Amino acid sequence: MKPAVDVVYRDLDSSVTFSALNDIITKKLEKLSRYTDQIVHSRVVLDTPHHHKHKGKQFRASIELDIVGHPMAITQNDESIHVAVRDAFSSAERKVKQLVARQRNTR
């Protein structure tokens, strides 16, 4: 089953290329769906949470996965939006693999 995805952009300026990020997010979600076919819905929120004087501009990538019986939320912050997306999806991949392994062991 191909999961439905919502990508939401909040408080981002036009220097961020939305089409390139949409392609990356779609590819990463397809990779996640290889591990389990129980992903019903996914939502990715990309925003700039705070304006830090000392840290510079920060971006946040938040991923919400609705897996049957196990909703999951992952958030990553970084100075680059691409790095934040990459790190968030690597954490999501790790958590999905752990969930699938736990489900296999209980059967």
Q: Taking the model in full, what pTM does it have? A: 0.86
Q: What pLDDT, on a 0 to 100 scale, did the predictor assign at position 97?
A: 93
Confidence of residue 69 (pLDDT cuts 50, 70, 90): confident
Residue 77's nearest CA partner among 63, 64, 66 is 63
Q: For all residues of the chain together, what is the average pLDDT?
A: 86
Most confident residue range from 1-15, 37-51, 78-92: 78-92
CATH architecture of 4-106: 2-Layer Sandwich (3.30)
Q: What pLDDT, on a 0 to 100 scale, did the predictor assign at position 86?
A: 95
In the beta sheet, which residues pair with residue 70? 67
Q: What pLDDT, on a 0 to 100 scale, did the predictor assign at position 27?
A: 92
